Amino acid sequence: MERRELELFLHLARTLNYGRTSLESHVSPATLTRTIQRLEARVGGRLLDRGPRGVVLTAEGQRFAAYAERALALWNDYRAGADEPAGLTGELKIFATVTACQMLLPDLLAPLRAAHPQIRLNVRTGDAAAALARLDEGEVDVAVAGIPRRLPQTLVSRTVAVTDLVLVSNGEPQEEYVVPARGLVREAAFRWFRRCGVKPVIAAETDGHEALLALVALGCGIGVVPRLVLDSSVMRERLVEVEAELEPLTVGLCVRRDDLHRPLVAAFWGL
């Protein structure tokens, strides 16, 4: 079990208030609920009950709280007795798409790696549309993501790239479209459809831009992707651009505003 999970459980065991623990621990209520559910699945029993009078610890929850306190105390004792290396240590969890990992992360992480080589970098990839949600819910510390017109007040960002959105096909006549299932690129595509008076026939929806390009190469339809993705794709030679004027996509480095005081996040942000 991760230390963070135990800390969240113990905080909730003390407050018996999901809202307060969520606020004070800087995680969303959904993330806190999922954390408790994961712990209960591993323990094999309910740790907390929600009744008319509020949240209460079950007998299993009381036993698990005692275990969690001992586990964290042992870890703290171990860390206190270790020879700490100079400089910052710990783990920085970063979310980025496959394209961002290839095209942006090396330059973004190089100064941090040079200044603080003891920091462990945990890079996670996935659907671009999920980046800010995973950051806001506390699953990662930093996200490289498309920046919406209105960024949530809980987050701050710095622009690292601006990339055009382009239409692509496999060179054959197409009347249908392949679009992302969610996210900023999908929203931009549908704004362009409305502006041009196009009523699109959607052939397929994907969870990632790389999957979208694969379907376009197969002839499923015309796709819309960031040029950054197209230029780095192994499908590039099999695709042609379709003339269109779409709005650009701003890509930024994002962190939670409340995390700017944390040493690892502050070090990364400062560099």
- Rounded CA-CA distance 271/88 in Å is 14
Q: Are 232 and 257 within one domain? A: no
Q: Are 202 and 222 within one domain? A: yes
| CA neighbor of 146 nearest in space, from 126, 125, 161 | 161
Helical ranges in 137-208 per DSSP H: 184-196
DSSP designation for 1? -
Domain that holds residue 167: 163-247
What pLDDT is attached to residue 259? 87
Q: What is the CATH number of the domain that holds 153?
A: 3.40.190.10
Q: Are 168 and 243 within one domain? A: yes
Structure tokens at 24: 């004070």
Domain count, the chain: 3
* pLDDT, mean of each 10-residue run, the chain (271 residues): 84 89 83 90 90 85 90 76 63 91 90 88 88 86 92 90 94 93 94 93 92 95 94 92 92 90 86 78
Q: Are 21 and 77 within one domain? A: yes
What pLDDT is attached to residue 86? 52
- Among the candidates 53, 81, 109, a domain finishes at 81
Q: Which residues contact 102 (CB under 8 A, 6 or more apart)?
A: 232
Q: Are 9 and 67 within one domain? A: yes
- Among the candidates 81, 112, 131, a domain finishes at 81
